[in-house]
Structure 1
Amino acid sequence: MSKLIFGLALLYMMTDKKKSVSSVCYLDEAASIDEINQKNLIKAASDFGYNILFASPTPLTTVRYCIRIEKQNGKNIISNKQWIRFEDIDEVDNDK
């Protein structure tokens, strides 16, 4: 977890502050991180201007969206139809 925070901080320090950049940080095996630390990672990534993408084969309690990956004709398919929204972002942001 600390490697991710330091990595985000390093990337943040290397970005040109005159330009608005939005980026995604991918974290594999997110289910191995407890809920409190998942929330802390989401907050830290947001503070540095990143969105964090948790990849996990098991359910997580900190997610706002779930994107299912389906197989069709031997290929992985992802479309907007597979997105499941659990809560609106505005609701979460107002709780801070």
Structure 2
Amino acid sequence: MKYSVIVATTLAVAAAGAPSARAVDAVTAAAAEVAIDRAKANVEGAKDERGEVAKGVKAATGISTEAIKKDGIFGGSNSVFRKPFGNLF
């Protein structure tokens, strides 16, 4: 939901030409909320990791050290590094 709000607002701002301060604030607030939610999820997920280093890696990146061991530094088949456009293509 939040991602769709960011995309819709960004497209509306782009179509309108020069963005208003209000539109920029709305996009910035939505993006900040998504980033905060992602950080909270990473910290919550880190609780399941074994070892302090593994917890730190998971909290900072959202990636489990076990996933890195299994799939390598670039991640699995749906990783942003292997599939930069996500599930769009």
TM-score category (smaller protein): under 0.3
More strand by share: 1
User: Who wins on radius of gyration, i.e. which is larger?
Assistant: 2
Relative to its length, the structure with more helix (as a share) is 2
The two structures have a TM-score, normalised by structure 2, of 0.24
- If asked which structure has higher relative contact order (CA below 8 Å, sep 6+), I would say 1
